[in-house]
Chains A and B, each alone.
Chain A
Amino acid sequence: MVAASVLPVEVPGLRVLLETMNLRPGFADPDNTLVTFGAFDRLHFARFVILEDQTLGDLTAYGVAFPDAPIWLVFLGDCDGDGREMVEAFARDAAPGLRRIFAHCTDFAPTTDLRQWMHSHSVSPATQYVNWVGRTVLDVCQEAALHAALRAALPVEAGPQPAIALRNTLIAEVARHGPLPSPRPPTPLAWRLAQLGRAGLGVLAFLIAIPVGLLIAIPFLAILRRRETRDAVIAPRPTPAHVAELALREDYDVTNQFSAFGNVKPGRFRLWTLVVLLWVVNLTTQLIYTRGRLARVGTIHFARWVFFDDRRRLLFLSNYDGSLDSYMDDFINKVAYGLNLVFSNGIGYPRTRFLILGGAEDEQGFKNYLRRHQLPTEVWYKAYPGLTTSDLDRNTRIREGFERSAMSDEEARAWLALI
């Protein structure tokens, strides 16, 4: 992710330029001339967002101000493999377009070295979530093609034939005409080692957390409860104009984007609570929630939380299936505790109790809060429109079944049901 500040006078022109990249409002043309997203075969999702915070006034609830708060332009790509290599590829293959876009940033001149500039403006997320760790764009596309080929190979009248026989027929048919998924490259050793390291870190953190937690639990909870009862709740209904700007860019595909920005509650207590929690959440998304679900929520493709301005502000970005109403429903009815843990450290969040209770359970206040902090995503790209996480999951299971050498009758029937 690249982030750079933009002067207010540049913002309207930048929005106009970014809109030229779109097929529909906010929905990128994969072949647009500025950044030809479709040509980057490791890229799952991408977006441009302008972080023009509408809620800075909320800081007055804490008697502080942030008068010189920058406006950020964010360019984010969710990609396979190393993010630095992705930046290299963008700088190499989309230079003219990116130069035109970044020319709106305060420190970008016609003579600037794009590659170096992008690297120096790279920002790492505090936490990121990937629906299925290790599933590449190539996997997604090949598995979807495999599903289509198997579906097309189904006999019109299956008749009463054993599942195993039908499976063999289908496999032979697709093996003859293709397309076949290419063999998966082995998981890189470096990644395996790093994962092992993270697991070790997780265990260590858990072991340390128990005694430390016991030691600080009482003072921590005392301070927390004091603040939770006094912190201002700022969750008025968002203006119709703001909601219209957001809705204009939603519901073209089965997947939608979400970008929200807000101020962290001032003071070290909330900041460190947030830093530690985001670190813990990140560990769980790397070690536990790597196979299709973030706790009970299965509809998120990619999500990340990123600090800005010396951790005074936090950005949340996600790509989710369905409309916002469904996403909110998941948030409130399935993972309210998880949202409360993180977002209750933001100014104005509905009142929580003990970090996890309340908060998002105030349905209307929570919906107002999220909508009010949401920002229009000027350009949003998805490499595989039309496919949901559930489709990706099913197609992966089809591929796994396709590549297995033998199956029992029951397994074959379950596999056929997927097609």
Chain B
Amino acid sequence: MAGADLTVPGDVTERDDVQALLRSGFGPLTEACFLLLRVADVVAARAWLARVHVTSMADLDTKQETVLQVALTAAGMRALGTDPKVIDGFSAEFVAGMAGDAARSRRLGDVGPDAPEHWDWGWAEREPHALVMLYAQPGALAVFREEVVGSIGAGFDVLTSLETSDMKGHEPFGFLDGVSQPSIDWNGERAPGSAADLDYGNLIAAGEFVLGYRNEYGRLTERPIVDGAQDERAAALLPRAADRPNAYDSGRNGTYLVLRQLEQDVPGFWRTMSAAAPANPIPLAEAVVGRRLDGSPLVPLQPQRIPGVGEDAGDRVRNQFTYTRDPQRLACPIGAHVRRANPRNGDMAEGRTGLVGQLLCTLGFAADTDADRIAPSRFHRLLRRGREYGRLLSIREAQASVEHPPAGIHFLCLNANISRQFEFVQNAWLQGTTFGGLTGEADPLTGNRAPLMTGAATDEFSMPQGGGVAKRVAALPRFVTVRGGGYFFLPGVRALRYLAG
């Protein structure tokens, strides 16, 4: 792979134009709710979007009591009267929407009970136009929400309000969540595609998460560019396009936001684990997830630093590892949730092997075929910003529980290329029954359990053993059900005013 073109900007300098969610998940603001809105009165909706204060990355330099973020769907842009040419300049999957066609639903695994027509929101007349995310300090959300909803007035109808709860960093099954995130190369210090990328790295080009900057291919991801001569508003409001003269970039400083409401059957999960491992269900559950309850990895840490890992000691003990020390998949099953979601592969499964070794690997004469089946990680990373909802049960409570109090995750991730990042991870890695040479199993945690067209099962989970025959758990029930979802665009602050028409 050629080195990056250095004329393509890699450093994000317009920090006051980037919504703050790209920089932070707002941990101390433990109260949050996500308002899903539909345009009711176009003029009033536009007026509100034009005046609302959206927190930027730069604003986070000072302590924020409350944060408000805004994202729009393609349907929302249409409803607001955004220029159709601009809308069509966004990526095809965004324009079509998450529930836009059956082929996409098939790829995402949104079939059967997960099919969009069963969702609470996200489909047909329940497709949101805008997402307003509100974050506040403990006890302060109610007032903030009232204030915001009041200011929205007649502009939007509230389709639904996704409530969240503070599980102290855990997800409803009881595992520490959000343990591993990509580090973003805000200053463009790393040139993607160098020999260092043959090994796994966690420092990822800003362009993978923000449009208008260099991505992992050293290029600018496609986005709507507006000719300044034909559109005076664009010239007045939008940042300039980095790659074209006299053109303005309505994507720059923005990114795509994927939101999926994933309901978790917590009692079902722990009952299944207990049935399969009556003596002690926890190690099995940890194998399914691929990490321990406290977030520590199942494979040993490595002594060498990994670029982008280890801002602090806590991060190092949780993330300074790859799976190359576990080639037989004994410590962490290959099918475990976190190993699927990020296999921690470099560009070459073998890593750096010298010039001759690299040539041999390139030509396909390397030893480990199975490891090389998995794509390099750096092109498929997600910045996760989800929040939990419902009540956190202890394992004991979950095992004893008979009714299912609704709990789950509002999974939310940011990425610059939905098809290459979110959809790839969801399709090839999580739902994929071909991942890493496996057969008969999709993600043991989030899999939809739908059999293949042949009737073959996808609901197994295998754990290789040093002694020969792998341990298997068959007929896993469904633990996660999709209740709603959508593809949004989280625009730059200036672009929001422009897109709002």
Chain A residues close to B by CB (< 8 Å): 24, 27, 154, 158, 160, 163, 166, 237, 240, 243-244, 247-248, 250-254, 289, 292-299, 321-323, 325-326, 329-330, 332-334, 336-337, 357-358, 361-364, 385-386, 388, 390-391, 393-394, 412-417, 419
Q: Select which of B104, B369, B420, B468 is within 8 A of A293 by beta carbon.
A: B369
Say if the beta carbon of B434 comes within 8 Å of chain A.
yes
Residues of A within 8 A of B434 (CB): 254, 299, 321-322, 388, 390
A163→B434 CA distance, assembly (Å) = 27
B143 sits at the interface (CB 8 A): no
Whether A322 and B428, one on each chain, are in contact in the complex, defined by CB atoms closer than 8 angstroms, is yes
Contact between chains at B469 and A298 (CB < 8 Å):
no
Contact A329 B379 (CB under 8 A): yes
Chain A hits for B219, CB < 8 A: 362-364
CB distance from B437 to the nearest CB of A (A): 4
Do residues A417 and B364 form an inter-chain contact, with CB atoms below 8 A?
Answer: no
Interface size class of B (residues with CB under 8 A): 35 or more
Cβ of B120 < 8 Å from any Cβ of A?
Answer: no
Residue numbers in A under 8 Å from B428 (CB-CB): 322-323, 325-326, 329
Would you give 23 A-B contacts (Cβ < 8 Å), ordered by A? Answer: A158-B467, A248-B103, A251-B103, A252-B453, A254-B433, A254-B434, A295-B364, A298-B372, A299-B373, A323-B427, A326-B424, A329-B375, A336-B1, A361-B2, A362-B217, A363-B420, A364-B219, A385-B453, A386-B454, A390-B373, A390-B439, A413-B468, A416-B469
Complex contact A154–B469 (CB within 8 A)? yes
Question: Is A247 a contact partner of B433 (Cβ separation < 8 A)?
Answer: no
Measured in the bound complex, the distance between the Cα atoms of B452 and A323 in whole Å is: 14
Give chain A residues whose Cβ lies under 8 Å from the Cβ of B364: 289, 293-297
Q: How far is the CB of B116 from chain A (nearest CB, A)?
A: 16
- Please indicate the chain A residues that have their CB under 8 angstroms from the CB of B380 in the complex: 329
Q: Are A295 and B375 in contact (CB under 8 A)?
A: no
Within the assembled complex, what's the spacing in Å between the Cα atoms of A334 and B348? 9
Q: Identify B101's interface contact among A247, A252, A337, CB under 8 A.
A: A247
Q: A330-B375, A361-B1, A390-B437 are in contact. Are A295 and B469 (CB under 8 A)?
A: no
User: Measured between C-beta atoms, what is the minimum distance from A193 to chain B in Å?
Assistant: 27
Q: Are B103 and A295 in contact (CB under 8 A)?
A: no
Contacts of A244 in B (CB 8 A): 101, 103
Task: Report chain B residues within 8 Å CB of A298.
Answer: 369, 372-373
Q: Which of A237, A251, A417 contacts B469 (CB 8 A)?
A: A417
Residues of B within 8 A of A295 (CB): 362-364
Instruction: Give the complex CA separation of A101 and B217 in angstroms.
Output: 45
Give the CA-CA distance A332 to B424 in the complex, in Å. Answer: 14
Instruction: Tell me the bound Cα distance from A27 to B432 in angstroms.
Output: 19
Query: In the complex the two chains form, is B468's CB within 8 Å of A416's CB?
Result: yes
| Interface residues as binary, B362-383 with A (CB distance below 8 Å gives 1, 0 otherwise) | 1110100110110110011000
Q: How far is the CA of A322 from the CA of B466 in the complex (A)?
A: 29
* Least CB distance, B242 to chain A, in whole angstroms: 15
A265 CA to B134 CA in the complex, in Å? 56
Q: Which residues of A contact B373 (CB under 8 A)?
A: 298-299, 390
Say whether B439 contacts A391, CB under 8 Å: yes
Q: What residues of chain A lie closer than 8 Å to B427, measured between beta carbons?
A: 323, 325-326
Residue of A nearest to B361 (CB): A296
Q: Does B325 contact A (CB under 8 A)?
A: no
Q: Are A333 and B96 in contact (CB under 8 A)?
A: no
Residues of A within 8 A of B464 (CB): 417
Cα-based distance from A323 to B428 in the complex (angstroms) = 7
Instruction: Kindly state the separation between the CA atoms of A299 and B435 in the bound complex, as whole angstroms.
Output: 11
Query: Is the CB–CB distance between A413 and B379 below 8 Å?
Result: no
Known: A298-B372, A326-B375, A390-B373. A251 touches B452 (CB 8 A): no
The answer to whether B452 and A240 have CB atoms under 8 Å apart is no
User: B75 → chain A, closest Cβ, in Å?
Assistant: 15
The answer on a CB contact under 8 Å between A394 and B375 is no
Closest to B373 in A: A298
The complex places the Cα of A25 from the Cα of B468 at a distance, in Å, of: 42
Residues of chain A within 8 A of B456, CB atoms compared: 386
Q: Does B222 contact A (CB under 8 A)?
A: yes
Q: Which residue of B lies closest to A415 (CB)?
A: B468
Given contacts A158-B469, A251-B107, A293-B369, contact A394 B92 (CB under 8 A): no
Nearest CB to that of A23 among chain B residues? Answer: B453
B180 at the interface (CB under 8 A from A): no
Report if B277 contacts A (CB, 8 A). Answer: no
Tell me, yes or no, whether B347 is within 8 Å of chain A by CB.
yes
Q: Contacts of A363 on B, CB cut-off 8 Å?
A: 217, 219, 420
Contact B468–A240 (Cβ < 8 Å): no
Cα(A237)–Cα(B85), bound, Å = 14
The residue of chain B having its C-beta at the shortest distance from the C-beta of A164 within the complex is: B468
B423 at the interface (CB under 8 A from A): yes
CA distance A292 to B372 in the complex (A): 12
**Assembly CA distance A297 to B363 (angstroms):** 10
The verdict on B236 contacting chain A, using a C-beta distance below 8 Å, is no
Seed contacts A333-B1, A357-B2; 9 additional CB < 8 Å A-B pairs? A166-B468, A244-B101, A292-B369, A296-B361, A333-B375, A333-B376, A358-B2, A386-B456, A390-B373
Per-position contact with A for B454-467: 1 when CB-CB < 8 Å, else 0?
10100000001111
State in angstroms the CA–CA spacing of A295 and B365 once bound together: 7
Q: Tell me whether B469 and A166 are in contact (CB under 8 A).
A: yes
What are the interface flags for B104-134 relative to A under an 8 Å C-beta threshold, 1 for contact and 0 otherwise? Answer: 1011000000000000000000000000000
